[in-house]
Amino acid sequence: MIARQTNIYLILMSFSLIILQGCVKNEKESIIESELQEYFDSFSEEAQIRGVDIQFDAIEIAAYIENIERQGTLGQCMTYSDGSKEVIIDENYWSRISNSEKEFLVFHELGHCVLGREHLDESDNRGNCISIMQSGEGGCRANFRRQNRAEYLDELFEYSND
Ligand SMILES: [Zn+2]
C-alpha cells in the first residue's frame, strides 16, 4: 500500500528551484499567506531544536498559494536579485494533500529558500530518499511519514554544504 501511494506521490512530485537573476520583483507585499504560517512556525521551531536559528522576521520572504502553470511543479522557491525570497505553492495540489504532505512541501521549499540547500536524491539501502531535498524526479523513493519525520528533519537542518 505504501509503495503504491509513494509511486503516485513520486509522479506528482516535481519541485523546482528557480533563481531569477536581475529580475524585477512584482508588486506584492512580503507576506506569508496565513495557511502557510503554521508550517513556517514549525520549520523555525524544528530548526531551533537542532541548533539552527531562523528568524523569518529578519529574512525578506513572501509565501503564497496560487496556481503554478508549469505542469508538474508543486512548489517553487525564488531568489530575487535583491536577495529577497518568494515561495509559491500550487493551489490545486495544496487543496488535496494531507498535513504531512503539506509540511513536506513547505519544508522542501524552505530548504531551498532559507537553508540554501540544493536537491539531493541519495537513497538508503532500501531505495528510500534520505532527504526532504529530493528532486521528485526519480533516483530515490519518497518515504516521508510520521515515523521517520524526526530523522528527515535531522538531515534537513544538520546537513552542511561544507
Ligand atoms: Zn526543490
Rounded Cα distance between 96 and 15, Å, is 17
- As a CATH number, domain 2-158 is 3.40.390
Residue 10 pLDDT > 90: no
Q: What average pLDDT is seen over the chain? A: 85
How far does the centroid of ligand 1 lie from the alpha carbon of residue 81, in Å?
Answer: 19
What residue segments make up the domains of the chain, in order of their start?
2-158
Residue 9 pLDDT > 50: no
How far does the centroid of ligand 1 lie from the alpha carbon of residue 35, in Å?
Answer: 20
**142-to-22, 26, 28, 48, 76 alpha-carbon distances in Å:** 34, 34, 34, 25, 18
pLDDT confidence bin for 58, thresholds 50/70/90: confident
Residue 139, pLDDT score: 86
Which spans in the chain are helix H? 2-12, 34-49, 91-94, 99-113, 149-158
Closest CA to 17 of 79, 70, 59: 79
For the segment 49-74, the average pLDDT, to the nearest whole number, is 93
pLDDT in tens, 120-162: 999 999 999 999 999 998 889 999 999 999 999 999 999 865 5
How far does the centroid of ligand 1 lie from the alpha carbon of residue 48, in Å?
Answer: 22
Residue 90 pLDDT > 70: yes
Residue 25, pLDDT score: 53
Residue 85 pLDDT > 50: yes
